[in-house]
Amino acid sequence: MPSIAVYPGSFDPITNGHIGIIQRGLLVFDKLIVSVAVNVRKKTLFTIEERMEMIREVFKDNPRVEVGCFSGLTVEYTKMVGANVILRGLRAVADFEYELMMANMNKKLCPEVETLFMMTGEEHFFINSRSVKEIASLGGQIDFLVPPNVAVALRKKLGL
């Protein structure tokens, strides 16, 4: 039976930090489902469809990466797609506190789904989508923070 994990997030937009986690996740799992979470309380720059398309473009040559989206509980979505692991990236200690609470809650809700924490690589630990959008909006250099297709989409979306 192939091992399948779900890597959930807002990915607004996907960054090189996210990509590093996905690439390393593929060393552990046969298939990784990168899942864009629908969160109506969160104001996003890109639509769900735009975010999914950017991710698809980045991984278009890798059949082991599937792109999806979901609303509701991550553990329920994970079960629905036939996975039993939620992959989460950690940048700093501050991330761990929140993620630990979520992992424990998810375990209570669905004992058969595990959460695997993976540390972001040292070359990416400072990257987050919010900062990327802010730097781009101020005309700063973002090409080392995101894939080329995302840099183009950000500049276009921001009218730069």
Catalytic residues: 18, 42, 91, 129
Number of H helices, E strands in the chain: 6, 5
**Helix (H/G/I), strand (E/B), else coil: 37:** strand
Residue 31 Cα distances to 14, 36, 138, 156, angstroms: 18, 16, 37, 32
Distance CA 73, CA 108 (A): 12
CB 54 within 8 A of CB 150: yes
